[in-house]
Amino acid sequence: MKSLNLIALILLVVGGLNWGLWGLLQFDLVAAIFGGNTELLSRVIYSLVGIAAVYTALTLKGSQRRAETAKA
């Protein structure tokens, strides 16, 4: 489970950096690396980032509960 959390975190960082670059410079790093935003590999990366966000959102409450238990 820890490895899945790490992968989700890495994908969220990639997505966040990509959106930050888009917001500041209108530059899509994923599209630049993989040949355009409609290319299959770019779409796979975008999809994985979205799945990672949903996974993280769904597991966030459990993570908070575990952190509070560990503090006590």
Q: What angle do CA 63, 66, 67 make, to 5 degrees?
A: 85
Q: What is residue 15's predicted lDDT score, i.e. its pLDDT?
A: 96
Q: What is residue 60's predicted lDDT score, i.e. its pLDDT?
A: 87
Cα separation, 49 vs 11, whole angstroms: 5
Residue 71 above 80 pLDDT? no
Give domain limits for the chain. Answer: 2-71
CA-CA distances (angstroms) from residue 17 to 11, 25, 27, 64, 67? Answer: 10, 12, 11, 24, 26
pLDDT over 90 percentage in the chain? 79
Question: pTM above 0.85?
Answer: no
